[in-house]
Amino acid sequence: MAEEGKGEITQEQLEAFADSYASFNKIIQQLHQAYKDLEQKFENLNLELERTNLKLRESLAEKEKVTNYLNNILESLTSGVLVVNLEEKIALFNRAAEEITGYKADEVLNRPYLEIMGKEVDLQSTPVHTLRAGTSHLNEEKEVLTKLQAKIPLGYSTSLLQDSEGNLLGAVEVFFDLSKIKKLEEEIARVRTLAALGEMAATVAHEVKNPLGGISGFADLLNRDIEEGDPRKNYVRKVIEGVDILNRIVMNLLDYTRSIKLDLRPIDFKRFLEEIVGFFEMDILREKKNIKIERFYPSEKCGCFLDAEKFKQVVLNLLYNASQALPDGGLIQLSASLEARNIENKIPGSTAEQMLCLRIKDNGIGMSEEVKDKLFTPFFTTKEKGTGLGLSTVKKIVQAHKGEIKVDSKLGKGTTVTIFIPKSG
């Protein structure tokens, strides 16, 4: 029986099989559903992740924008900004700081502040002191050494640096170069002294003028009375010569101390220059000096507003100085041009003005540093018969025209004087 039963499936078996198939099917279906659920969950998670990623990217971009913005502000500041961290090392050094100190940020970042900026400086005036003692500085002054070991005056402020929760991060120092301001202050003090001296000199000159006139008149009378051949005639001539020189000095002085009133008129600058240079050339020919003059004029018309009489003094003074710097002859180059430029000491950023530029260059004896320093001081001269009033008068006239004068000179090589005058007067 058992043998017969082999290979046959009983009803029971069939049912059991059907049952298990059904439950297997169910399990499969359940698994399938679970898989689908998982898939859905995975997709949802993925979506969420993507959203979070996007948000993160956005917030990073936003953060970068703010950082860039702050960095740009820091870099565009004309004040130097530096930060020292808690280890007293430099953690930030903006572009203005680089320009003022001469150090590049790469050279100083992460290096001890005192090693870089603390040389020959009172510790009290450093942000390191602020960090250690907690005291800040506001608008104080100190002198620091630049990378090239030059001492420069700085205006500076320091304060502690904290994060939004009040944790100490370091100290910040903001500073700016006071050299220009100091120079201006010195110049103002110098001008004040000169003005006071000028006033006094003018009074003295005025007082001296009358007795001088008397001496000169009586000397003339004496001269007339003394016979030719009389040895005393020579003495009188010496007196007259001396009085003449004194008179010239007094007149120059009075001229110099008088305040300038300009009579501005439209001028064709090239023609104006040509007239003066023509006159000067004749003088050179007469004195048989071996001096060549080259001119460089722009092709366009050079109309401008000038006080012709006064400006003529400027050009002539410069030409004569150039020729006197060429005792053995040489070359004088005179050039005129129009340039757009900002005049010094004007508000930075203001638009450039059309300026008339006059340059007179000689290849003469040049000047020492000492001479260069005193160039514009009245009565400073290195010449036996100089008055020392040429350049100070030139400067006065140029400044009255709201212009600027620059002198470049090398001993033994030559001198270039450049004048800028606003074209429109």
Interface ranges with ligand ADP (CB under 6 A): 317, 321-322, 325, 362, 364-367, 371, 375, 380-383, 386-388, 390-392, 415
Q: How many CA atoms lie within 13 A of 137 on its CB side?
A: 24
Residue 325 binds what, of Mg ion, ligand ADP, none (CB under 5 to 8 Å, by partner type)?
A: ligand ADP
Nearer to Mg ion, 342 or 381 (CB): 381
Cross-strand pairs, 410 = 414
Tell me the chain's radius of gyration from C-alpha atoms: 43
Nearer to Mg ion, 161 or 367 (CB): 367
Q: How far is the CB of 276 from ligand ADP (least distance, A)?
A: 16
Nearer to Mg ion, 101 or 321 (CB): 321
Say if strands 137-145 and 151-162 run parallel, antiparallel, or are unpaired. Answer: antiparallel
Closest CA to 360 of 300, 307, 412, 408: 408
Residue 217 binds what, of ligand ADP, Mg ion, none (CB under 5 to 8 Å, by partner type)?
A: none
Q: How far is the CB of 284 from ligand ADP (least distance, A)?
A: 15
Nearer to ligand ADP, 80 or 414 (CB): 414
Longest dimension (CA), the chain: 187
Nearer to ligand ADP, 101 or 321 (CB): 321
- Residue 399 token pair: 């400044």
Q: How far is the CB of 325 from ligand ADP (least distance, A)?
A: 3
234: CB partners within 8 A, 6+ apart: none
CA–CA separation, 94 vs 82, rounded Å? 7
Q: How many CA atoms lie within 13 A of 193 on its CB side?
A: 7
Residue 375 binds what, of Mg ion, ligand ADP, none (CB under 5 to 8 Å, by partner type)?
A: ligand ADP
Nearer to Mg ion, 98 or 362 (CB): 362
Residues in the chain, how many?
425
Residue 387 binds what, of Mg ion, ligand ADP, none (CB under 5 to 8 Å, by partner type)?
A: ligand ADP
Other Cβ atoms closer than 10 A to 327? 10
Helix or strand or coil: residue 152?
Answer: strand
Binding-site ranges for Mg ion (CB under 5 A): 321, 390
Q: How far is the CB of 386 from ligand ADP (least distance, A)?
A: 3
